[in-house]
């Protein structure tokens, strides 16, 4: 095996044509002149020793018919966004599904995905996007036809932690039913103490 320490960089380019139809938003004219342009680079999820960026082409146009100056905005990459939505989604997934702290998420992004994100930024994503993310998670968990479930089996691997192991805290027992990709349902029984 060759364990390289050199970090390679790759780019995913998004041209203006992908998010702009070419018409002036004010008058609908197709006669436009490019006043200026630049590439906007946002860090994206990479891999060990591979840095990834999404490069968005930004043009400032002037309509030759009505004189309107404008710059079309990409719907998925707002102007003040500093990281791609995939990084934000990854941070929320790790926080809610894997119960990992914001500090650990920032460390994993840096060490495993070659993306340096300040801890304050990760915490602000969690605070700002939690409501919307949790709504999407709850929609995923809803069963299509729960009345079709006739039986459920447990494989016997559940064991209680017991009152003396964790301490004298309030026990919370959780039972959840999740539909798997193969069409079967997974019944999960867990016990936590708070």
pLDDT at 171: 55
17: exposed, middle or buried (C-beta count within 10 Å: 0-12, 13-18, 19+)? exposed
CA nearest to 71, candidates 143, 20, 113, 146: 20
pLDDT at 31: 94
Domain residues for 47?
8-78
In a domain, 174, yes or no: yes
pLDDT at 62: 96
User: Does one domain contain both 16 and 70?
Assistant: yes
pLDDT at 91: 94
pLDDT at 141: 61
Q: What residue ranges in the chain does DSSP mark as E strands?
A: 8-14, 32-47, 50-63, 69-70, 171-179, 185-193
User: Does one domain contain both 154 and 130?
Assistant: no
Under DSSP, the state recorded for 145 is -
> Taking the alpha carbons of 44, 50, 51, 57 in that order, is the dihedral positive or negative?
negative
pLDDT under 70 in the chain at which residues?
1-5, 140-174, 189-194
User: Does one domain contain both 96 and 151?
Assistant: no
User: Does one domain contain both 112 and 160?
Assistant: no
User: Does one domain contain both 107 and 158?
Assistant: no
Total structural domains within the chain: 3
pLDDT at 106: 94
87: exposed, middle or buried (C-beta count within 10 Å: 0-12, 13-18, 19+)? buried
pLDDT at 150: 43
In a domain, 178, yes or no: yes
Instruction: Answer with the one of 78, 104, 127 that is the final residue of a domain.
Output: 78
- Extract the tokens encoding 142: 């809803």
């Amino acid at each position: 095996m060759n364990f390289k320490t050199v970090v390679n960089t790759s780019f995913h380019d998004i041209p203006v044509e992908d998010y702009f139809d070419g018409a002036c938003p004010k008058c609908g004219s197709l006669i436009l002149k490019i006043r200026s342009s630049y590439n906007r680079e946002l860090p994206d999820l990479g891999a060990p020793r591979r840095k990834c960026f999404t490069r968005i082409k930004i043009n400032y146009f002037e309509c030759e018919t009505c004189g309107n100056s404008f710059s079309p905005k990409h719907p998925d990459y707002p102007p003040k966004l500093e990281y791609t939505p995939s990084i934000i989604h990854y941070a929320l997934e790790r926080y809610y599904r894997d119960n990992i702290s914001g500090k650990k998420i920032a460390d994993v992004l840096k060490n495993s995905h070659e993306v340096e994100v300040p801890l304050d930024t990760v915490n602000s994503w969690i605070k700002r996007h939690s409501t919307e993310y949790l709504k999407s998670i709850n929609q995923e968990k809803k069963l299509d036809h729960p009345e079709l479930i006739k039986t459920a089996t447990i494989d016997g691997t559940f064991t209680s932690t017991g009152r003396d192991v964790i301490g004298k805290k309030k026990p919370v027992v959780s039972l959840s039913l999740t539909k798997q990709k193969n069409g079967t349902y997974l019944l999960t029984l867990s016990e936590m103490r708070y």
